[in-house]
Structure 1
Amino acid sequence: MSGWTTANIPGQSGRTAVVTGANSGIGYVTARELARRGAAVVLACRSAARGRAAVVRLRAEVPGAEAEFLPLDLADLGSVREFAAAYGERRAALDLLVNNAGVMALPFGRTADGFETQFGVNHLGHFALTGLLLPRLRAAPAGARIVNVSSGFHVLGRIPSGPAGPAGTGGFGSADSAAGYRRWSAYGRSKTANLLFTHELARRFTAAGGRITAAAAHPGYASSNLHAGAAALEGRTLTSRLAALGDAVLAQPTASGALPSLYAATAPGVGQDAFIGPRFGWRGAPAASWRAGWTLDDAAGEELWAASERLTGVSYAALPR
């Protein structure tokens, strides 16, 4: 992995990639660089205006790129189902699914389906999307990859197991109301959920003997509108400005933050349940990343899986435990 850059991305001609949250930041760079190497990319974005603008920008930066926008609002399971159906009408197979979109440290809120927003968007939306696209992933002729983008901040939120865990939105959902809600703990739990989902996906793919690889990545401390945006939503102007200053002074560029996702999606030899991040934790070339032990807990992974199927109504019938 030493010194790995976008120049090391293998050719992607003939492959199709879906990147969620691809209208800006790390998601946009991920889609652009996959397109640069020949992949057909689908930019899955909530905002139609920003999604279409991103496609125009990408085609200008990568002449001849095959790129399109499809609407996807991960905070609305109806939208997730519509996206999967629309994709299925266009293409028979899917080679790369990069579950990149996310929200960070938001004030308490609920998704269209009543889930705490961070857990609903960061985990449940992607869980449902992956399950609905599974037939397309299984149809990839050379084997598919799924990359779930987590965060080093997963250490802030361990998901309870047992009676306190999978029941309803409490425990796994991280909050049933604004009372007692802690935005950073909720964010950490949603990022732990990304890693537990990857762990359980990888375990099931291994047991099934298929050719789909489930991996995870995190960008380290990369310049992103997530940091300042969360504070701005709460009207915390000073915090927003400090976050923006931190991004400018300390963070690695967005393009560098996308490297772990690109490595996990394309590099040869990426194994099941790999977790890729910057070499030095917060910056640097892609490398195997440390993760909290609880993200490798089989029992917690199975509980999260069962709760996620129940909450989303999306069953992975073709991928039994």
Structure 2
Amino acid sequence: METEWLQRLNPSARVYAVNSPSVSVPPIVQLANRAAADGRPFAPAHARFGVLFCEVRPGRCVARMPVAPATAADGALDPAGVLVLTDAALGVAIGSGLPDGRRITTLSLGLSTTGRRPAGPSLTATAQVIGDPGHGLGTGVLTDETGTELARLRTRCAVIDGAPPAGEPSLIVGVPPASGAGSAWQASVEDETDRFVVLRASAPPGLGNNTRRVQGGAVAAFVELAVARALRRVPAWPSRPTDGPVVRDLDVTYLRGVPADGAPLRCRAVVQHSGRQFATARAELFDGAGRLLAAGTASRYLAG
């Protein structure tokens, strides 16, 4: 097969090159490497957060994004800001190991932070498939410019019939970069107390993937915005038993796809437990008809 385009390199991309016409390159590897070689985002949500593929080969994906949309005002890592990058890298790592005529849909997505602050201008997600790609299990690591590990990443995907969606450059035209997950979603507060929060937002096309549904990482980011706000509403720890960092865990399960058509969404997060060092919350995401789309759990822990 013709692989001339696979030889093209940009400064941040190492494409998977195949010289032998007898070697079949999985379609998602071809598509992702074409985007990497061109130095362009693969999907609207990637453009929103500045996500670019750097290296794609069967069973492995490396992707990068600017650090700014993924950091809080105090310089700490914002989990909501890295979930589009997380989903992009993990999904392609699994999909790249599948045969023709098979593709994935994400069932769950999660990350656990180390509490370290990012250094440098960019973040990198390195993801790989675990075992048989048909089992849909992937893991990865998020690092900064110095190679410091900031988070561990994980996903479980369903493998279904169908060709992987092609990257459509027309879909990313005019998609502006976001300063973070909050600016990308533009969510408003419907109700909140010191135990729960309800956020409302629409499902904008600029957070979509190439199937015109909201990208899984963007969905998870909306859930994270709700649970993070709920956990911030919990009264502060009465005393700080340590000076250690606050570490976070997030896990999101997907039940239905979310069309990127501007339809209204509603996410309700409830604090389940709040102790001296550990607090947890659970969130549910609904569409305008009241159907459950996704559910997530999150925790914060004052390490020491």
Q: Given the two structures, how large is their TM-score scaled by the length of structure 2?
A: 0.26
Decide which structure has greater strand share. Answer: 2
Q: Given the two structures, how large is their TM-score scaled by the length of structure 1?
A: 0.25
Decide which structure has greater helix share. Answer: 1
- Is the radius of gyration larger for structure 1 or structure 2? 2
